């Protein structure tokens, strides 16, 4: 049995709710780290499956694991609780469905030791599917100035890859529940205003895409929270005051009070949805195909304006082109079918016809007519 570390240099924090399917892979990847001077705080957030049984078995074998059980209260409360108990100089995040590279913690500790001006370091990720097979590589900017600039437009730091100086995390009072499902993005924005942030150049985590992730059902709130985080950041940078500091939840009405239009909200939702759909089509094709078939109805439910649906259709074709170039032909076909469902007039545009020739009459000989006539099916 591995002995408990009383004064660890690193505290690894992971929350899990009903994560039995991939939990062992995640825990094993942490216990196999080349860097050994860590404690591993795991918060069991009200799981009702075999999660508790699995974790108790691991704790009996490795005393570095500090297991906490609680009634389900959500990711923000669980992470803040775990981070508040951290004894390490650095806090590293981990998710219960991902897999860390063996040298992840070692490389991040070395980076922070050699760059004392940096408060946080993340890494690129290898995207894997439900079976652990690699399907993509996500890289992020490494320069702190580029990261600070890009953060006002997009989240360029992958949450389960980060290692943070504990003092910096505590100085900012951790995650804020107001920005539910985008609590990490809000923290990065606040942190970037006082500290320098970085990403390593090489991936140190396998990031899993699967159907049971926080996804479509929470996407609307994620988009609202991300837009709210930007409103807060602009306010702080303008006069040092956070305009949303006293809000309990980010709603469309709250955003509209600060100049975010309903069209901007709809546009952000449509783009976020299409990106999520693209990921799911790669990571869980069956679930992704089913979601693609439901997309027009989902857009109608969220009252996506016709002009935004047309823009979304063009973005969908761009995604189809991307997947086709990577030889994911079935995904490309599903996305083209979706694009025409969103905007039946799309084929009238000359640039679209040129793209269709590339997509549909290429090496696989997929015909234009078959795309329009064949419904999306889940095999």
* DSSP-assigned beta bridge partners for residue 208: 128
Q: What are phi and psi of 122, to 5 degrees?
A: -110, -170
CB 81 within 8 A of CB 118: no
Q: What are phi and psi of 267, to 5 degrees?
A: -65, -45
Q: In which residue ranges of the chain is pLDDT below 70?
A: 1, 3-5, 211-216, 347, 349-379
User: Model confidence over 207-222: pLDDT tens digits?
Assistant: 998 866 656 678 999 9
Residue 34 class from Cβ within 10 Å (0-12 exposed, 13-18 middle, 19+ buried)?
A: exposed
pLDDT at residue number 320: 78
pLDDT at residue number 360: 57
Q: Return the residue matching tokens 């759909």.
A: 277
Residue 180 class from Cβ within 10 Å (0-12 exposed, 13-18 middle, 19+ buried)?
A: buried
Q: How far apart are CA 309 and CA 277, in angstroms?
A: 15
pLDDT at residue number 306: 85
Write down the domain spans for the chain.
Answer: 10-208, 261-373
Cα–Cα distances in angstroms (integers) from residue 150 to residues 40, 144, 222, 237, 314, in the given order: 32, 10, 18, 15, 24
pLDDT at residue number 378: 42
Q: 245-252 long-range CB contacts below 8 Å, 24 or more apart? A: 247/178, 248/178, 249/178, 249/180, 250/178, 250/179, 250/180, 250/221, 250/224, 250/225, 251/224, 252/224
User: From 3.90.550.10, 3.30.2350.10, 1.10.1040.10, 3.20.20.80, which CATH number describes the 10-208 domain?
Assistant: 3.90.550.10
Length reported for the chain: 379
Structure tokens at 359: 């997509």
Residue 357 class from Cβ within 10 Å (0-12 exposed, 13-18 middle, 19+ buried)?
A: exposed
Cα–Cα distances in angstroms (integers) from residue 266 to residues 254, 259, 295, in the given order: 15, 14, 14
* DSSP-assigned beta bridge partners for residue 111: none
Q: What percent of the chain has pLDDT over 90?
A: 65
Q: How far apart are CA 280 and CA 278, in angstroms?
A: 6
pLDDT at residue number 337: 80
Q: Return the residue matching tokens 């991300």.
A: 226
CB 210 within 8 A of CB 139: no
**Please, what is the Cα angle at 203 between 198 and 207, to 5 degrees?**
105
pLDDT at residue number 364: 47
């Amino acid at each position: 049995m591995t002995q408990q570390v009383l004064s660890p240099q690193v505290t690894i924090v992971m929350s899990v709710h009903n994560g039995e399917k991939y939990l062992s892979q995640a825990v094993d990847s942490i216990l196999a780290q080349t860097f050994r001077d860590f404690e591993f705080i795991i918060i069991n957030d009200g799981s009702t499956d075999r999660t508790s049984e699995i974790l108790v078995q691991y704790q009996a074998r490795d005393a570095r694991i500090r297991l906490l059980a609680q009634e389900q209260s959500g990711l923000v409360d669980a992470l803040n609780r775990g981070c508040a108990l951290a004894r390490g100089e650095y806090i590293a995040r981990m998710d219960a469905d991902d897999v860390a590279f063996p040298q992840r913690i070692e490389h991040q500790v070395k980076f922070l030791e050699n760059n004392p001006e940096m408060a946080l370091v993340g890494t690129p990720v290898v995207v894997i599917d439900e079976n652990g097979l690699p399907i993509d590589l996500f890289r992020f900017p490494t320069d702190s100035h580029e990261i600070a600039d890009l953060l006002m437009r997009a989240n360029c730091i992958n949450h389960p890859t980060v290692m943070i100086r504990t003092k910096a995390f505590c100085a900012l009072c951790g995650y804020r529940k107001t920005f539910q499902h985008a609590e990490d993005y809000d923290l990065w924005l606040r942190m970037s205003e006082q500290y320098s942030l970085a990403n390593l150049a090489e991936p140190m985590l396998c990031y899993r895409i699967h159907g049971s992730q926080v996804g479509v059902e929470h996407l609307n709130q994620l988009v609202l929270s991300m837009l709210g985080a930007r409103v807060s950041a602009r306010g702080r940078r303008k006069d040092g005051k956070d305009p949303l500091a006293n809000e309990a939840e980010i709603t469309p009405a709250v955003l509209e009070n600060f100049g975010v239009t309903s069209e901007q909200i709809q546009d952000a939702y449509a783009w976020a949805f299409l990106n999520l759909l693209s990921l799911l089509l790669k990571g869980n094709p069956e679930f992704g195909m089913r979601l693609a078939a439901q997309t027009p109805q989902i857009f109608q439910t969220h009252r996506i304006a016709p002009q935004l649906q047309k823009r979304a259709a063009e973005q969908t074709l761009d995604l189809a082109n991307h997947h086709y170039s990577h030889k994911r032909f079935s995904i490309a076909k599903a996305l083209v079918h979706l694009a025409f469902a969103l905007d039946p007039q799309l084929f009238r545009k000359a640039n679209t016809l040129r793209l269709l020739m590339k997509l549909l009459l290429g090496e696989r000989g997929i015909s234009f007519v078959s795309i329009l006539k064949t419904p999306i099916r889940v095999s």
